[in-house]
Structure 1
Amino acid sequence: MKSWCVLAFLWLAYFCPGTQSCPVLCKCYHRRAEVVCHEVLLTEYPSEGLPSNTTMLTFQFTNITSISEQHLSATPMLQELHLYANHLRSLPSHLLRGVPQLSTLDLTENKLSELPADVFSHAPLRSLVLKNNLIVKADAEWLPDNSSLTWLDLSGNHLTKTPTALLQRLPHLDNLDLSNNRLEKISANSFDSLTKLERLNLQRNKLDTLDASVFQSTRNLTYLFLTRNKLNNLPQNLFQELTQLKHLSLDDNQLSHIPAGLLDPLKSLDEEGLDLSDNPWLCDKNMEYLWRWLQKNKKKVFLPETTICAKPQPLAGRSVMSLTESELILQS
């Protein structure tokens, strides 16, 4: 009889969520070891009631302002922690010491500005998202040397310089997002250690030019986003090593010309993989290289008819594709 009681209890514990603990204002999905707390009334991290076997934990749209190493230690099997759109203003050092299996940490849209050393140490993180915070400087001490990180999102912060020292600790990184910051210049060696990088997003910054050697080590890049900067001058050999590139966005910059040969290494561009629109192109004799390249590679350009002459006046509003060789020569 006792054995039947034990079996009945185990059956209820497994198949009936209500029989297991779960914090107030949270939902626990016991069969997949997931907890979701989605409630503005939640003001403090629920220290009690979280199932100890939780592997995925989400706090979103709450009024939680702090989180500690002790809080996370209650769920030692945690693999994913999503802290989206809360009110976190700071994080403690050694935050992840109690979650040695954590691989994904998302801190999107909080109020984080300065973070201490070792804040992201002690866990084998592969994905770290710090999007839409108030971070001015990303320090190397956040992470250990030779970090296992493959995905880093620092978009939507207040960075004015590329975090070169931090990037040197991330040899396995394949996705880096620095978009929507205040970057005015990128150091020549910023990406030298990122030999496995495949996707780089630099759009919506304040870059007016790029060093000729900045992409010399990122030979595995397949996606490069440079939209909405202030680029007005590009070095001739800028893309020399990017023979694997499939997508390049140069739209919405200040380009009037590009140097002869700039696009020649880009043999792997996808169909519609290059965007050149919304630039003030000057259609004179110096436009001949781009004009000829477009004639041969029309299918690789996204909406080629939107690559339009801004000057000189007789050609203003005309697509570069529509020009004739004699028109370019006449405007020299």
Structure 2
Amino acid sequence: MAKIGLSQPQVSGHCEVSVSTFESRFSSVPFRFQHSVSQPDDTTKTKWVAFLRILLFPPFLFNFPFVENLSGTGDLLAPIRCSHDKAKVEQIHCGRDSLWAKATELQSRRMDSSVLICILCVGLSLHCCRLQALQCPPVATPSNITEFSCSSPSLSHFPAGFPERTTLISVEFTNISSIGEDALLGLPKLQELHLSNNRLEDLPGGLFRDLPELNTLDLTSNLLEDLPPSIFENSSSLNHLFLKMNQLTKLRPQWFHPLRQLQTLDLSNNQLKDVPPSCFSKLENLTALDLSFNFLHQLSPQILEGMPLLERLDLGGNHLHSIADKTFQEVPRLGYLFLQNNSLTRLPPGIFQPLRNLDTLFISDNQIASWDPGFSGQITKLSLDLARNPWVCDCRMSTFVDWVMRHSAVLYSREEVVCASPESLKGWVVMSLKEAEFGVC
């Protein structure tokens, strides 16, 4: 049975039906159904839920009189006529892993039998799709279609034949392990390329050479151990690059030097042990950098040079033992800093002094015993996570607690910010102590 939730918006011409699962004895298929109306909608209509049981295989389903012509082969947009006195389906996207349909209302603004009729069409189309081989991209599509999604575990070769007008390609959750160097030729308007959750082991050096408008590239969750030095040589328009959850063991500065427009760089969950000092020095527009969950033991003091606009830095989940006192001097706009789950034993006094916009700081799950934060005087409110560190509850901690109280700082997991020493205070919640109860320095 499919559970179909419909919502009627308060603007004209649009209604969506989202279906999280379509279950039968043979499959569980996600799809979405889109209903477009030709007249302004009533603003008083509320959400409602319809339950529709569609048995995929009984042949009598195909005897409904309103089904004039139903077609669909693989992952394509096929024109169909699924008409009723109040509605008809115009287009259907038919794939093994996804399906959507577009319908127009012919006579009435009321979403009653017309919607149910169209939903039946979607169910029938699912049956059609189950019987057809995957074909992606489509052989022929309407000229207004510029985005294509090809996702199937059975897909083992990168699809070919995308039209020149294509602006987005998503080939994800497939069995593809390699891509030819010319796979993306002839796509000058491509802006987004999503290749996550495949089995890519390497990429050819010239793969992105003919994509002047590419601004988003997602290579998440593949098997990449290295990339050609010049792979991004012609990718100067790139704004967002996701390389997380691969097997990268090193970073090459040549990858990033051409990417002067890059705003987001995610290198988390790889096998990185160090970062070359000049690696990111050309990323003058970068606002978010994620190096979390690698194997970094130390950071060069120059690691953040050349990134004056950086606002978010995630170094959590590494093996960092220390951080140089001038590390954050070049990133005054940094507002979100994550250092949790490392092996830090100390933080230099005043290390966060340059960070006038600091909003969130996580240093939980380290080995920090004492700390003189020396925050900038411009910071008026701060969210902190200091949990699960072996804090020494002496006069220095008392000073910090006083600062937290005066600045109305938000302290996450405060019940887990406890004293490790002196022995008389071991296990006490730091924020529960009064000034006179702290140990002497």
TM-score range, shorter-chain basis? Answer: 0.7 to 0.9
Deviations 1:302-328 (A, max 9, x none): 243432112222212211112123322
Deviations 1:274-295 (A, max 9, x none): 1111111111334232232233
Higher relative contact order (CA 8 A, sep 6+): 1
For residue 245 of structure 2, the aligned residue among 123, 132, 155 is 132
Q: Which segment drifts farther, 65-74 or 203-212?
A: 65-74
1:114 corresponds to: 226
For residue 95 of structure 1, the aligned residue among 202, 207, 220 is 207
1:307 corresponds to: 417
Deviations 1:184-242 (A, max 9, x none): 11111110111010111111011111100000010011111111111111111200110
Mapping of 1:174-213 within 5 angstroms?
174-213=287-326
What secondary structure is seen at the aligned counterpart in 2 of 1:105? strand
Q: Which segment drifts farther, 302-311 or 276-285?
A: 302-311
2:37 corresponds to: none
Q: Distance in 2 between matches of 1:293 and 1:75?
A: 56
Q: TM-score, normalised by structure 1?
A: 0.87
1:85 paired to 2:197: yes
Q: Distance in 1 between matches of 2:380 and 2:351?
A: 16
> Going by fraction, where is helix more abundant, 1 or 2?
1
Q: Structure 1 residues 188 and 224, CA, compared in 2 at 3 Å: closer, same or farther?
A: same
Q: Does the Cα contact within 8 Å between 1:308 and 1:319 map onto a contact in 2?
A: yes
What secondary structure is seen at the aligned counterpart in 2 of 1:200? strand
Q: Structure 1 residues 249 and 129, CA, compared in 2 at 3 Å: closer, same or farther?
A: same
1:235 paired to 2:345: no
2:40 corresponds to: none
Q: Supply the AA of the counterpart residue of 1:93.
A: G
Mapping of 1:1-332 within 5 angstroms?
16=91, 24-26=134-136, 31-47=144-160, 49-123=161-235, 124-145=237-258, 147-259=260-372, 261-265=373-377, 267-270=379-382, 273-329=383-439
Q: Structure 1 residues 268 and 58, CA, compared in 2 at 3 Å: closer, same or farther?
A: farther
Q: Does the Cα contact within 8 Å between 1:195 and 1:219 map onto a contact in 2?
A: yes
- Once the two structures are TM-superposed, the CA of residue 163 in structure 1 deviates from its matched residue by 3.8
Q: Does the Cα contact within 8 Å between 1:140 and 1:169 map onto a contact in 2?
A: no
- Once the two structures are TM-superposed, the CA of residue 165 in structure 1 deviates from its matched residue by 2.4
What secondary structure is seen at the aligned counterpart in 2 of 1:165? coil
Q: Distance in 2 between matches of 1:170 and 1:294?
A: 35
Q: Does the Cα contact within 8 Å between 2:256 and 2:280 map onto a contact in 1?
A: no
Q: Distance in 2 between matches of 1:126 and 1:87?
A: 24
Q: Distance in 1 between matches of 2:308 and 2:420?
A: 38
> Going by fraction, where is strand more abundant, 1 or 2?
2
1:7 corresponds to: none
User: Unaligned regions of 5+ residues in structure 1, if any?
Assistant: 1-11
Q: Structure 1 residues 308 and 25, CA, compared in 2 at 3 Å: closer, same or farther?
A: farther
Q: Does the Cα contact within 8 Å between 1:151 and 1:176 map onto a contact in 2?
A: yes
Q: Distance in 2 between matches of 1:200 and 1:208?
A: 17
Q: TM-score, normalised by structure 2?
A: 0.66
Q: Supply the AA of the counterpart residue of 1:197.
A: L
Q: Structure 1 residues 93 and 238, CA, compared in 2 at 3 Å: closer, same or farther?
A: same
The structure with the larger Rg is: 2
- Once the two structures are TM-superposed, the CA of residue 17 in structure 1 deviates from its matched residue by 6.5
RMSD value, Cα: 2.2
Q: Does the Cα contact within 8 Å between 1:219 and 1:244 map onto a contact in 2?
A: yes
What secondary structure is seen at the aligned counterpart in 2 of 1:301? strand
- Once the two structures are TM-superposed, the CA of residue 16 in structure 1 deviates from its matched residue by 4.7
Identical-pair percentage: 37
User: Unaligned regions of 5+ residues in structure 2, if any?
Assistant: 1-78, 81-89, 94-132
What secondary structure is seen at the aligned counterpart in 2 of 1:72? coil
What secondary structure is seen at the aligned counterpart in 2 of 1:290? helix
Q: Distance in 1 between matches of 2:434 and 2:329?
A: 36
Q: How many pairs does the alignment contain?
A: 311
What secondary structure is seen at the aligned counterpart in 2 of 1:293? helix
Q: Supply the AA of the counterpart residue of 2:156.
A: T
Q: Structure 1 residues 67 and 27, CA, compared in 2 at 3 Å: closer, same or farther?
A: closer
